[in-house]
Amino acid sequence: MRHEAAGTVKAVLGPTNTGKTHLAVERMCGHSSGLMGFPLRLLAREIYDRIVAIKGANQVALLTGEEKILPEKARWYCCTAESMPTDRDFAFVALDEAQLGADPERGHVFTDRLLHARGREETMILGSESLKPMVRALLPRAEIIGRPRFSTLTYAGAAKLSRLPPRSAIVAFSAEQVYAVAEMLRRTRGGAAVVMGALSPRTRNAQVAMYQAGEVDYLVATDAIGMGLNLDVGHVAFAGLSKFDGKRRRRLTIAEMAQIAGRAGRHQRDGTFGTLAFEGEPLAEFRPEEIEAIEQHRFAPLDHLYWRESDLDFSGVSPLIRSLERRPVIAGLRAAPEAIDLAVLRLLAGDSSVIGRATGAMVRRLWAACGLPDFRKTGPEQHSRLVGRLFGHLSEGDGHVPQGWFASEVARLDDIQGDIDTLADRLAGIRTWAYVAHRPDWLADPAAMAERAMAVEEKLSDALHERLTQRFVDRRTSMLMRDLGKGAAPPPVAIDAEGEVSVGPFPIGRLKGFAFEVDPAARHADRKMLLATAERRLGHEYERRAAALAADKDAHFSLRTDAGAPVALLWRGHEVARLAAGKNLLSPRVVPGRGLEAVSLKGRALVTERLTDWLRAGIEARLGPLRAAGHAARDPAAAPAIRALLALLVDEGGIVARDAVAEPLAALDRGERRTVTALGVRIGALDLFMPALLKPEAMRWRAALRAAAADMPMPELPAPGSVVLPTPADPALLMRLGFRPAGPQSIRVDVAERLAQQAHRARAGEAGDAVDAALVTSLGLQPAALAKLMRDIGFHPNSAGEGWVWRGRERRRRARAGARSGSAFAALAELGRG
C-alpha cells in the first residue's frame, strides 16, 4: 500500500455535510479496486453495506479489529484506520476524517496512513478544512479541493427537553448522562434511540433503525455521532460542552463542537444546533465567537499531527521500545503520547517469563499481542495480565491459543441476562475474543472460533438493543405523541370483546360501558395523554354505544346495590348512571355517569329515557304493592284517613311501626281497614307492613330507593332468608328493611307478628302459653330480646317470673282516646263519612 510516488493525491477538505465521503465512495467504485479507512467500526460497517449494494457481497471486504468479512475475490475494502492492510496493492485508497491525526490517543495511526497509504491510481485524504496547513506541509504535491456545505447550520439557543423539536439528536459526554437524558425523554416524549461508540454495529443499527423509521423522534448519543455517521437529524442539542479526555475534563474545541453540530441537516435541508437546559443545573452556553466560527465553518488551522514510528526494530524487546520512543524529525509532527499498547509492552518487559520467551520472531508476536485493544477499559495494569497470558500461549507449543480456553471464555460471556451495563460489559468482553479470532495465526481454527464469537456478539447485541428499548422507549407514548401532532395519519382504533382499547398496536385502556379507564400499567405522567387520546378518538364509539343501550333488551340492565357504594344502574355489567332523590321515594332521578359526558345531548337524552323506563318497570315488578299504595294515597276519592295512613306507609318504604301511625289508624273504621288490607297491607299488633316487600329482591330495591332518596350509600343487606339479626348501632336502619329492634336482637316484622298473635291468642284462651317456646328456640332468640319484644306487645313477666301478664300498651290507649276526643285524624274520618 505504500506508493509514495504512485497516482494523484487529493485532499478533499471541508465541513460536515459536504458529501466528502459520498464522493470518495463514488470514486472508489469507479476503480478496479479500492481501500477506505474510517475512524469507527460503525462507520466502516455503514459504508461497507452501501458498497455491497453496488458491487455485491462477494466483491467487498470489511476489516475491523473485531470483525472480518473477507471474500476470496474481494476487491473493495472498508476498514478501520488501524486495520487497513499494508501489504496489498489497491488502485484507489482513501482516508476519512484525517484531521484525527491531531487526536492524542489515536492520532499517530491516522498520521501514518496520511503519510504512507497510497492508491496505485488515486489517493483521497478526507477531512476538515483545519487540516489544510498540515496537508501542504506534509504532502506538498497533493491537490487540495475545498467542498462547501450543502446546507446552512444555525445556532438555535438553549431549549428545555420538553421544547426540543422532533428529529433532534442530544449529545452527551458520558454513558451516565446519555442514560439520564434518554430516561427523561422516555417520560416526556415517548423515548429515544441510544447511540454510543461502545455499542456493536448490530445494536447501533437496530437503535438507529428505530429513529430513522420514526418510531422515536429523538436520538441520544455520545460524541461518536460526530465521526461521519449519517442520520436524519434536524437539530443537535449539546447536553454539555466539556468532556473527560482520559486525563482531565476540558471544554470541547471549536472543531469538535462543529464536527458534532454538523450532524444537523442533511444534503439540502438546513440544520440547527444549541444547548440543552436542565432544570436546576447551570446552563452550558456557547460563546459568541464559538457560534460564529461554527456557523461560518471557520476553525483554527492545525499546526501539528501526532506521530509514532511505524518502521519498528524487532531484534529484541528493548530495541522495539526504543524504536517506539523515537522522536519525529519532520516539522509539524509531534511524538504521540504513550498509547496503551506501549504501556502494556513496558509492563511486560519487566516480567522475566515474558522476556525469556520474547526472542527472535517472538518479539514481533509479543508486539502483536500488545496491540489487543482494551475494550473493557480496565487500564494498562490489568490489561497487561490478559496480554501476558495470551502471549504465553502464543509463544509455546504450536503457537496457538488453546481452543478450550478460548471456548470457555466465550461461553462465560454467552449470557443475555442482566441490565444494560452488564450486557455492555459482556459485549466489550466478546469484542476482545472476536479480535483474537480474527488474528490469522493465533488459533488453530480461527474461522470457526470467529463464527462462535460473532454468534455470541449478535446475541448480546440483540439483548442490549432490547434492554435499551425497554428502558428508554415507550412505543405507545411515542406513537400517541405523533398522533397528537399535525399532519400525521391517525393510527386505527380497535376495541376488543373485553372492551380493551388499542390505538395502533398499543393498548391505552379499557372502555367499561361509557367509562374509559386508563391502562393500569401506564405511568402516572402518561395518564392525561391517554385520556386525551381516548376523548379524541372514541367519540364515534360513544355514540354507537348510546344507540345500542337505548335499543337494548331489559335483560341487559341491572341495579347495583353494593354495600357502601352509591346505587347505580348497570348496562351489560358496566355502570352507566346513578340514582338520586326524585319527587318521591318511588320516582328517583336517573343521573347519567361521567362517561356519558362524551355523548351528544341527543344521545344522552335517549340513554336517560331508556334507563328511566327500565327503572320504572323494575319498581313496578318488585314493589308493585307499594306503588299501588302510593296511587291510593294520592286518590282524591279515597277517605282522608286512608290517604293519610298510606302516605306515611309509602314514605317509610312499606313498613312502619304501629305507634308511628297510631292516630290515623285509630281513625279508620272497619270498612276502611278492609280497604287498606286489600292493598296488601298487614295491620299487625306491632307494625304495619306489606309481606310481599319482605322478599329478598323487594327488600333490596326498597333499600336502594331509600338510599338514593337520602343521598346515602347502599346499606349492607341481611342475608336472604334472615329472620333474627344482631341489633346494630342504628336500629332504625334495620327497621326500614323490615326488622323490629328488640334489645340485643332484631326480628323480622312478620315473625315478630307471629309471636304477637300467639301471645294474644293465649290471652284470649285460644292457645296454650303466651310464648311459643319451640319457635323461640328455633329462632335463637335471646331472653333479653324476647322480654323486650313481649313488653312491646303489652306483656310483662308475672311476679313469679314463670309466665306473662297482659298490661296493655299505654301509647295505643292514648291513641284511641285521642281519636275519640276529636283529634285531627278523627275529624278527617268524620268528614269522610259525611
Q: What is the pTM of this model?
A: 0.63
Give the pLDDT confidence score for residue 310 in this predicted structure: 92
Give the pLDDT confidence score for residue 825 in this predicted structure: 45
Q: What is the DSSP string of 14-72?
A: -SSSS-HHHHHHHHHHTSSSEEEEES-HHHHHHHHHHHHHHH-GGGEEEE-SS-EE--T
**What does the alpha-carbon distance between residue 353 and residue 341 come to, in Å, rounded to a whole number?**
19
CB 584 within 8 A of CB 630: yes
Give the pLDDT confidence score for residue 330 in this predicted structure: 93
User: Which CATH homologous superfamily contains domain 8-146?
Assistant: P-loop containing nucleotide triphosphate hydrolases (3.40.50.300)
Closest CA to 37 of 27, 50, 24, 49: 24
Residue 188 CB coordination number (10 Å): 17
Q: For the segment 233-271, what is each residue's pLDDT rounded down to a tens digit?
A: 899 999 989 888 777 888 998 888 988 898 888 766 889
**For the chain, how long is the longest CA-to-CA vector?**
143
CB 650 within 8 A of CB 705: no
**Helix and strand totals (H; E) in the chain:** 31, 34
Decide whether 8-146 matches 153-296 in CATH topology.
yes
**What does the alpha-carbon distance between residue 449 and residue 436 come to, in Å, rounded to a whole number?**
9
User: Would you kindly state where each structural domain of the chain is located, as residue ranges?
Assistant: 8-146, 153-296, 309-327+336-467, 488-536, 623-694+727-820
Give the pLDDT confidence score for residue 3 in this predicted structure: 43
Q: What is the arrangement of strands in the sheet containing 687-689, beginning at the earlier edge strand?
A: 655-657, 687-689, 682-683
CB 434 within 8 A of CB 447: no
Q: Which residues of the chain have pLDDT under 70?
A: 1-6, 226-229, 267-268, 279-281, 474-491, 523-526, 801, 809-834
**What does the alpha-carbon distance between residue 757 and residue 739 come to, in Å, rounded to a whole number?**
17
Give the pLDDT confidence score for residue 829 in this predicted structure: 42
Helix (H) or strand (E) holding 92: strand 92-95
User: CATH number of the domain at 153-296, please?
Assistant: 3.40.50.300
**What does the alpha-carbon distance between residue 575 and residue 589 come to, in Å, rounded to a whole number?**
15
Give the pLDDT confidence score for residue 479 in this predicted structure: 61
CB 64 within 8 A of CB 38: no
Give the pLDDT confidence score for residue 815 in this predicted structure: 45
**What does the alpha-carbon distance between residue 461 and residue 202 come to, in Å, rounded to a whole number?**
6
Which cell numbers hold the place of 136? Answer: 501542504
Q: Which residues are 307's β-sheet partners?
A: 335
Helix (H) or strand (E) holding 583: strand 574-584
